[in-house]
Every structure is written in C-alpha cells, then in structure tokens.
C-alpha cells in the first residue's frame, strides 16, 4: 500500500468534506474522511459526473460550495451553449505552476529560452496556462495568440524563439515558412500521440528532429499528463492528481494496460476540486518508470469517448476511436458515420467516410488499422464525396442514433 498517497487523499477529502457538494456525496455513501485508510477504501467513494459538477458550478459564486473568498482567478470552459467557471486560488496556481515546471525541465526547456505561445487567451485557459507556467519556470514568453502566420513567423525568427507552443496543424504551417531556431514544440488542441505517424509528419515540416511534447489537460484539471523528451508517452502528473482507469459500464478499476475511462482526483486543489471525476475519456494507463522520474503513463493519450460505447460481436467498441484513426489517412476526412445492424443473427458493422479520388486505394490499410485498434473487422467501408448531415452512429439493432 502507498501510505503517503492514502494519507494525501484522506487529507484532501477532509478539505472537500467542508464543501456542501462533496459532503452530501460522502454522507450519502456513509463515508467519513477518517474511513479512508487504504486505496480500496477510497474506491468506495462515489464517482463525480460531469452533469452534477456543472450543476454546482453554474450557480452564483455565493451559493456554489466549490467557490471561496480565496479565489483569485476565474477561467471559463464551454459546455454546449453555456460557459462554466473554473476557480483557482493563489495556492492552486502556484502548485499548478510548480508541477508544470518539473515537466518543462523534463522536456528540455531552459530558463533562458524564448517561447512563443499561439494558443488563444481571454476567457479560455490554454494560452494563459502556458504563459504562466513558462514565466514561473523562468523562461521568456511572447504571447502570439492564434492566426496571422506571416507575422508569427517574423516574430519567431526576429526574436530567436526556441520553444513553440501550438496546435500541430498550425505548427506545420509555420514550419513551412521557415522557423529554423525552434528546437522544442509543445502541441495540444487536437489528437497527436494517438495518431500514428503524426510526429514524423511534423518533423518533416521542420526538416529536423525537434523535441515534440504532447499534453493532455481539460479546463477542470490543468495539467493531467505531458510527455517528456524521452518520448515514452504522456506521464500522469501524479504529484498533482491521482488517476484511475475504470471499466465504464460497472466502474471497476481495470489492470494497467487495459482500455477504460480515466477518473481524476485532485490531491491539493482548494477551489473547484475534483473527486473521482469521470472524464468520459477512453485511455490506457501503464506503470512504466521513465528516465525523467515519472512512472504512470498514457502511451497513446486519449483514444476516444466512453459515453458512446457499443457492444458489437461481443466486443466493446467506442466509435470515436474511428475519428482518431482516420487522421492517419490523408485522403479521407474526419467526417464519418458508423452503422450497425443485425443480419441473420450476426452483427454487421459498416463505415461511411468522406474522401477524395485516392481514398479507395487506402481501404485495405484502413481496415487493418481499424482491426488493430478496435479488435473488430468492419464488414464494409464506403467512400463518398460528401457525407449527409446526420448522427455519428446509427445502431439499427436498438433503433439508437447518436
């Protein structure tokens, strides 16, 4: 048993027990903070779901138990047509930046580096998140923001930027115009590690072997995981969060190396903390120590969403995995539809994708990748010029579309 971890979890739960939102949850399960003596005890705590968390956060600050007078920053995240707040205290921000500083060092960032951030600022958190952690670490930052690639290239070259923070697509656009001084690229905002061959594509644009650091975060939890220069996967920030991977249907913890839903608990956060929060993200976690000192790793980052699971031919299938796989094939788009029906008592699985005139030649390779990642053989793949508007999944067996 990891005594230090259990003690930290119990201490955090003592703090959460002072918040009505979590007190009601724990009392409803008949659990007191003092009951948490092992990780097995901790796993008796009910999960927190996104709808109930949003219901609490959408309240006015004076009635939201996840807010306090110590809050010094409010970020926002979209959910449907709404924006919901994420609160931070000064202690939250400092701890977050300290944890990120360790990962910046593991990425190879030096305190004298000049960094350019092309993510958005204002209400949303991505640009400010990177700027604050880099400045806290001791690096220099140019807050470029998104768009205007010609101006971005000029500033990157004029000010000898060595570290670029961008989504992969925009970084390729910048690299094509020539930014030879960049040696480290932090990517985010779109699937990357989960897409086979994407890192090689980016390096070809830069025409050299730059270090590429992928990150996984969400507005409610920054950071979650980040890769290092050893390229062994995205390491869980286990000095900031406790991560579990569960079987989505029944909530049981799965062994390392098996697919499941990521569940997160903040270890220290004071404002809008998470307790056994079901992210809805499908992933695999491995216990594999890295030379950087981290141990728990998401080798493929996020693979899809768990709230759309189907059982096909006895196999659990998450349709959003298909979109990630399609990114590996340049002649098809990320517009697709999965259809499931039953023929003579046997499940039949087909896929319709938008693609160009060269897409048909990639069907065999695509079938192979789909089988490799989903463990299912697709009965048919159809390529169309334009996919009509409609649901992502049509399940004729149950009359269910989503």
CATH code for position 331: 3.30.300.30
- Domain match, 290 and 321 both: no
SS3 147: coil
- Domain match, 286 and 385 both: no
End residue of a domain, out of 250, 279, 304: 304
Residue 24 lies in a domain: no
Residues 6+ apart with CB under 8 A from 349: 312, 313, 317, 338, 339, 340, 376, 377, 378, 379
pLDDT tens for the chain, residues 1 to 402: 689 999 999 999 999 999 999 999 999 999 999 999 999 999 999 999 999 999 999 999 999 999 999 999 999 988 878 899 999 999 999 999 999 999 999 999 999 999 999 999 877 789 999 999 999 999 999 999 998 999 999 999 999 999 999 999 999 999 999 999 999 999 998 899 999 999 999 999 999 999 999 999 999 999 999 999 999 999 999 999 999 999 998 999 999 999 999 999 999 999 999 999 999 999 999 999 999 999 999 999 999 999 888 999 889 898 989 999 999 999 998 899 999 999 988 999 999 999 998 999 999 999 999 999 999 999 999 999 999 888 999 999 978 888
Cβ–Cβ under 8 Å, residues 124 and 75? yes
- Domain match, 119 and 244 both: yes
How many residues comprise the chain? Answer: 402
β-strand partners of 393: 338
**Residue 18: C-alpha distances to residues 10, 52, 262, 342, 385 (Å):** 13, 18, 26, 52, 57
- Domain match, 266 and 380 both: no
Closest to 263 (Cα-Cα) out of 272, 291, 255, 247: 247
Q: What is the pLDDT of residue 20?
A: 98
Q: Name the pTM for this structure.
A: 0.90
Q: Which one-letter DSSP state was computed for residue 379?
A: S
Cβ–Cβ under 8 Å, residues 242 and 43? no
End residue of a domain, out of 275, 304, 333: 304
- Domain match, 106 and 220 both: yes
- CA of residue 148 relative to chain centroid, distance: 27
Range of the domain at 350: 310-401
Residues 6+ apart with CB under 8 A from 333: 326, 353, 354, 355
SS3 365: helix
- Structure-token match 């944890």, residue found: 99
User: How many domains is the chain built from?
Assistant: 2
- Domain match, 142 and 192 both: yes
Q: How far apart are CA 246 and CA 235, in angstroms?
A: 18
- Domain match, 107 and 173 both: yes
Q: What is the pLDDT of residue 42?
A: 98
Residue 77 lies in a domain: no
End residue of a domain, out of 276, 304, 332: 304
- Domain match, 225 and 326 both: no
- Domain match, 246 and 151 both: yes
């Amino acid at each position: 048993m990891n005594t230090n971890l259990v003690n930290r979890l119990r201490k955090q739960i003592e703090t959460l027990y002072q918040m009505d939102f979590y007190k009601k949850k724990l009392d409803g399960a008949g659990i007191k903070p003092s009951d948490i003596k092992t990780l097995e005890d901790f796993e008796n705590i009910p999960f927190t779901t996104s709808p109930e968390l949003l219901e609490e956060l959408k309240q006015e600050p004076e009635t939201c138990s996840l807010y306090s007078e110590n809050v010094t920053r409010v970020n926002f995240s979209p959910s449907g047509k709404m924006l919901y707040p994420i609160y931070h205290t000064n202690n939250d921000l400092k701890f977050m930046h300290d944890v990120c500083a360790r990962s910046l060092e593991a990425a190879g960032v030096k305190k004298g580096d000049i960094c350019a951030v092309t993510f958005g600022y204002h209400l949303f958190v991505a640009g400010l998140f990177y700027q604050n952690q880099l400045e806290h670490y001791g690096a220099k930052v140019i807050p470029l923001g998104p768009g205007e690639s010609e101006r971005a290239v000029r500033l990157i070259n004029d000010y000898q930027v060595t570290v670029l923070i961008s989504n992969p697509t925009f970084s390729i656009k910048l690299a094509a115009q020539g930014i030879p001084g960049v040696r480290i690229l932090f990517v985010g905002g779109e699937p990357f590690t989960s897409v086979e061959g994407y890192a090689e594509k980016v390096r070809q644009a830069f025409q050299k072997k730059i270090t590429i650091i992928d990150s996984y975060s969400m507005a409610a939890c920054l950071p979650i995981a980040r890769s290092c220069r050893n390229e062994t996967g995205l390491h869980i920030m286990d000095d900031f969060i406790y991560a579990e991977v569960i079987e989505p249907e029944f909530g049981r913890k799965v062994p390392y190396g098996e697919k499941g839903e990521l569940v997160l608990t903040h270890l220290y956060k004071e404002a809008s903390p998470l307790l056994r929060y079901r992210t809805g993200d499908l992933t695999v976690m491995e216990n594999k120590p890295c030379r950087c000192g981290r141990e728990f790793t998401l080798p493929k980052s996020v693979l899809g969403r768990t709230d759309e699971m189907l059982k096909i031919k006895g196999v659990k299938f998450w349709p959003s995995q298909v979109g990630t796989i399609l990114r590996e094939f340049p002649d098809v788009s990320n517009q697709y539809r999965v259809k499931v029906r039953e023929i003579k008592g046997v499940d039949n699985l087909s896929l319709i994708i938008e693609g160009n005139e060269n897409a048909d030649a990639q069907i065999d390779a695509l079938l192979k990748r789909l089988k490799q990642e989903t463990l299912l053989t697709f009965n048919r793949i159809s390529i169309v010029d334009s996919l009509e508007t409609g649901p992502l999944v049509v399940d004729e067996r149950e009359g269910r579309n989503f």
